[in-house]
Amino acid sequence: MRFLLQKRAEFYHKRHWYLPNAVYNRIILTEVENTVEEREIEKLLHAVKDGTTSIEDAILELKKAPFEDMGFARPDIHRGLRQGTAEVIYGQGKTPEQIFLIAGKLLEKGQKSVLITRMSVEAANYFEENKKSIRFTYDGMSRIGIAGEQIDEVKRTGKIVIATGGTSDMAVAEEAAKTAELFGNHVVRLYDVGVAGLHRLLNKQCMDEIMSAKVIIAIAGMEGALASVVGGLADCPVIAVPTSVGYGASFGGLSALLSMLNSCASGVSVVNIDNGFGAGYLASMINRG
């Protein structure tokens, strides 16, 4: 075992020469911890088999399983088991190599798909150049990268309607849409149906989609009135997403945020400015709940 751990540390040293020595020591310790963890899981499974531990108690113990310490990041390997949805990588602020290594670690540990939000073109190109056998796609509009299993075009459930005030809101909308689609939801897009031309929203096709939705994501900048209008028409939860689209007094989306928070329509909840991912994630929980 000591020989294998030494070789493992040498491999990390050659590949990640820029990391401090403390990180390499932590890598060796992590390998030991993982081995201990496997023994504990094996012991737990034997206990279930013998009838000394219930299945429910075993699941509870597995939900407490540790994260993976990579030195610069600690991916939550068992988040999918605890929360029903696996770890997602927020790409902004991370280097291309960090994103690649974190995604690779999650896939190595059994995660089927890795969603990467706010991913730069530079990071996507780096991933594409180094991916080897990993399946990877990147969408420039939403800045979403997906590693591993891709969006299933067939197996989708329910209906999430995503409506935007204008075409300028599409980047945020697509972040929400691709997030929801990767999590197995059927998504309908209604783009550029804002209050400046309310008749576009009130036509039969759009109204049919709104009235048959299980949850609606209303995305708008400027004064953010779309969320209140949709909230007054729909009989399902509405998730409002303010965007930073607008002129000076919109204050980078603050105006739309305050308007949505003060909506007089019942059943409207609000996420942060430009947070398409948060809206798509929450809509998925409602749609599949």
Q: What is the pLDDT of residues 72-109, one digit of tens each?
A: 998 888 787 777 788 899 999 999 999 999 999 999 88
Residue 240 belongs to domain with CATH number: 3.40.50.1970
Strand partners, 187: 160
214 lies in a domain? Answer: yes
Kindly state whether residue 76 falls inside one of the protein's structural domains. no
256 and 185 fall within a common domain? yes
The lowest-confidence range among 62-71, 147-156, 159-168, 276-285 is 62-71
159-188 pLDDT, tens digit per residue, is 999 999 999 999 999 999 999 999 999 999
Would you state the structure tokens that stand for residue 167, as one six-digit string? 């075409």
Question: Given this model, what pLDDT does residue 159 score?
Answer: 96
268 backbone dihedrals φ, ψ, rounded to 5°:
-105, 120
User: Residue 226: which H helix or E strand, with range?
Assistant: helix 226-231
- Whether 70 maps to a domain, the answer reads no
Residues 22 and 114 in one domain: no
Whether residue 12 sits in one domain with residue 45? yes
* Mean pLDDT score across all residues of the chain: 86
Look at residue 21 and tell me whether its pLDDT is greater than 60: no
pLDDT, position 1: 40
Q: Which of 95, 116, 150 is the last residue of a domain?
A: 150
d(C-alpha 75, C-alpha 278), whole Å: 19
In order of 116, 180, 243, the CA distances from 165 in angstroms are 26, 19, 10
Q: In terms of domains, do 259 and 168 share one?
A: yes
Cβ atoms of residues 65 and 77 within 8 Å: yes
Q: What is the pLDDT of residue 5?
A: 46
Alpha-carbon gap, residue 184 to 121, rounded angstroms: 26
For residues 163 and 282, membership in a common domain is answered with: yes
Assigned domain for 230 exists: yes
- Domain holding 120, by residue range, is 84-150
Q: What is the DSSP letter of 156?
A: -
